[in-house]
Amino acid sequence: MATSKLHSFDFEVFGKVQGVFFRRETQKKAAKLGVCGWVMNTQTMTVVGTAQGSKEMLQQMKHWLSKVGSKRSRISKCDIKNERTLSALEFSDFSVRV
């Protein structure tokens, strides 16, 4: 069944995304959707990470990362790259990296 395939993408979110609980809220959203991966701040004031899960849940995650974010964040752009199909998840949960 095609819908059970696992997918992965890397992301970088630009705008006011540091100091606004963006990583914590990203982790909460991922847990709610059943998405695995990680998120972290960069020295260039962006947020980067990897998300893995079903295609349907990742579509919702992409929307959240590019349009919603945490309450105090202001997203100017979200780059999605390295989209690929997986045979198995590479992460067991969604973590905040420092």
Q: Given 23, 24, 72, 82, which residue is catalytic?
A: 23
**Residue listed under structure tokens 């202001």:** 74
* 82 noted as active-site residue: no
Cα-Cα-Cα-Cα dihedral sign, residues 47, 45, 13, 28: positive
Q: Given 41, 72, 84, 97, which residue is catalytic?
A: 41
* 41 noted as active-site residue: yes
Active site residues: 23, 41
